[in-house]
Amino acid sequence: GAVVSQHPSWVICKSGTSVKIECRSLDFQATTMFWYRQFPKQSLMLMATSNEGSKATYEQGVEKDKFLINHASLTLSTLTVTSAHPEDSSFYICSAPGLANTGELFFGEGSRLTVL
Amino acid sequence: AQSVTQLGSHVSVSEGALVLLRCNYSSSVPPYLFWYVQYPNQGLQLLLKYTSAATLVKGINGFEAEFKKSETSFHLTKPSAHMSDAAEYFCAVSSMDTGRRALTFGSGTRLQVQP
């Protein structure tokens, strides 16, 4: 099956710094990837759709200058949390649709960000 | 727009008992429906999916779900719970027919399995 990998799994940073999270499709190409955010004991909220070679599409209420998304290749999308603050602490999960076009998304392992 | 409602944020069953996790959906187009499982600090793993073929869908780990259009439901069941089934379960609906391939998730149900 399709494998999506995220890095890092855990990151702790100081307030005001920027953090980059990588999402890779390991055995398939993904022109589209989705970034979700999950607060503790809550559901996944779609933040943005990452499009290879073009600008990301952000969901309403998501600050695009805060959460920079780059999809420079068919196997890599990155999410950069800029000038992070404690309220940005969360679990970030990326996903990509498989090639079979069944609607299924394949998820990365997630990245837990803690901003001190 | 699509949406999913999961009734019961917490469900507790005894080992060996029936598991029933409820999911109702709302969709303006024929839906694609999914159940995912999440273990602590991990991503999501697909349990099963409905994509307009058979209404009774069998998934991994002994789980199955039945699509009932008249009830707009897609409840997840397992005849006999195992301790390893303890996790968070999410029902999701796809917006594929609208050209948008992201999934919309329900609020999740935490399953506890008592020995």
CB–CB contact A108 B42 (8 Å): no
| Chain B residues in contact with A108 (beta carbon < 8 A) | 43
pLDDT of A116 higher than 80: yes
pLDDT score recorded for residue A103: 83
pLDDT score recorded for residue B98: 55
Residue A110 has its nearest CB partner, among B43, B51, B103, at B43
When the pLDDT of each residue in chain A is averaged and rounded to a whole number, the result is 93
Confidence class for position A114, pLDDT limits 50, 70, 90: very high
pLDDT score recorded for residue B75: 98
User: CA of B106 to nearest chain A CA: how many angstroms apart?
Assistant: 7
The more confident residue out of A53 and A68 is A68
CB–CB contact A109 B43 (8 Å): yes
Return the sign of the alpha-carbon dihedral for residues B67, B68, B73, B79. Answer: negative
Q: Within 13 Å of residue B109, how many CA atoms lie on the same side as its CB? A: 26
Per-residue pLDDT tens digits for A36-48 = 999 888 899 999 9
pLDDT of A33 higher than 60: yes
Question: What is the distance between the alpha carbons of residues B68 and B51, in angstroms, rounded to a whole number?
Answer: 13
Q: Are the C-beta atoms of A79 and A8 separated by less than 8 Å?
A: no
One-character DSSP codes across chain A: ---EEEE-SEEEE-TT--EEEEEEESSS--SEEEEEEE-TTS-EEEEEEEETTS--EEPTT--TTTEEEEEEETTEEEEEE-S--GGG-EEEEEEEE-TT-SS-EEE---EEEEE-
CB–CB contact A103 B105 (8 Å): no
pLDDT score recorded for residue B97: 56
pLDDT of B35 higher than 70: yes
Q: Count CB atoms within 10 A of the CB of residue A1.
A: 9
Per-residue pLDDT tens digits for A58-101 = 999 999 999 999 998 999 999 999 999 999 999 999 999 987 77
Return the sign of the alpha-carbon dihedral for residues B74, A100, B89, B59. Answer: positive
Q: Count CB atoms within 10 A of the CB of residue B52.
A: 12
Q: Is B96 helix (H, G, I), strand (E, B) or coil?
A: helix
Residues 6 or more apart whose CB falls under 8 angstroms from that of A105 comprise: A34, A95, A96, A97, A98, B101, B102, B103
CB–CB contact A93 B44 (8 Å): yes
pLDDT of B100 higher than 70: no
Confidence class for position A102, pLDDT limits 50, 70, 90: confident
User: CA of B68 to nearest chain A CA: how many angstroms apart?
Assistant: 19
| Chain B residues in contact with A109 (beta carbon < 8 A) | 42-43
Cα angle B5, B6, B8 (rounded to 5 degrees) comes to: 140
Q: How many angstroms separate the Cα of A97 from the Cα of each of A3, A71, B30, B71?
A: 10, 15, 19, 28
Mutate which of B38, B103, B104, B107 to disrupt the A interface (most A C-beta within 10 Å)? B103
